[in-house]
Structure formats: structure tokens, C-alpha cells
């Protein structure tokens, strides 16, 4: 299984947002982002005690502006210790997630 990669940035809102609560032009320019936005509503599914999340799963329902359908997705997360991505992928494979199954994709966040 060959994962794709996603990088998440935790940005300080007071630095990257203008008084209108939209990204500043310098941030949009730095990341090559358009001026327009697409709204998305996301709802995570779990118990009050976060039983699903604490077992490594993250199920959610998303509704994107302009789309008629809802998207139900889930993630199974595996910790990466140090930079041992191969170890995490090996564990996932041992638990039944393998490259022969086309129902999901691997992603490293």
C-alpha cells in the first residue's frame, strides 16, 4: 500500500484572518488559494465518551455547499513513531488493510 501525504497547518487566527474573518490576501497568495470559498458542514459520529475515536476510528458525515449528496467517511488512524511510516503501514496490513482492497486509500497526515 502506497499512501499519499497530507500536511496540516495549525495557524493562529489572529495572524491569518482579517477583520472579516476571511484569510488575508497575503496568506491566500502564499498558498496559491482562490478568493472564493466553499462551505462544508461536518459532523463527527461518536459517543459522549469518544469510544469510537479512542479506538482509532474517526467517522464523519460531510455536506458540501452545492452538492446534493452527503458524504459518509471514516478514518482508522495508526500512530507513526519517529519517522517509521512503514511500521504503521505494516500494522495496518496485519489488521486487514492492504493494497489489494480498493475500497479505501492510505494517507499519512
40 touches 63 (CB < 8 A): yes
Q: How far apart are CA 24 and CA 33, in angstroms?
A: 11
Element (H, E) at 95: none
Give me 76's grid cell. Answer: 482508522
Per-block mean pLDDT, blocks of 10 residues, the chain (109 long)? 75 94 93 90 95 91 95 85 86 82 71
> Per-residue DSSP letters for 15-60?
HHB-TTSSB-HHHHHHHT--S----EEEEE---TT-HHHHTTEEEE
pLDDT of residue 1: 55
Bridging pattern class, strands 107-108 and 4-5 = parallel
pLDDT of residue 6: 78
Amino acid at each position: 500500500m502506497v499512501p499519499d501525504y497530507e500536511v496540516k497547518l495549525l495557524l493562529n487566527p489572529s495572524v491569518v484572518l482579517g477583520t472579516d474573518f476571511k484569510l488575508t490576501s497575503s496568506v491566500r497568495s502564499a498558498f496559491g488559494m482562490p478568493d472564493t470559498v466553499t462551505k462544508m458542514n461536518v459532523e463527527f459520529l461518536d459517543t459522549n465518551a469518544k469510544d469510537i475515536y479512542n479506538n482509532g476510528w474517526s467517522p464523519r458525515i460531510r455536506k458540501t455547499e452545492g452538492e446534493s449528496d452527503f458524504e459518509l467517511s471514516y478514518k482508522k488512524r495508526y500512530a507513526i513513531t519517529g519517522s517509521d511510516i512503514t511500521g504503521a503501514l505494516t500494522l495496518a496490513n496485519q489488521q486487514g488493510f492492504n493494497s489489494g482492497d480498493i475500497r479505501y486509500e492510505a494517507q499519512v497526515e
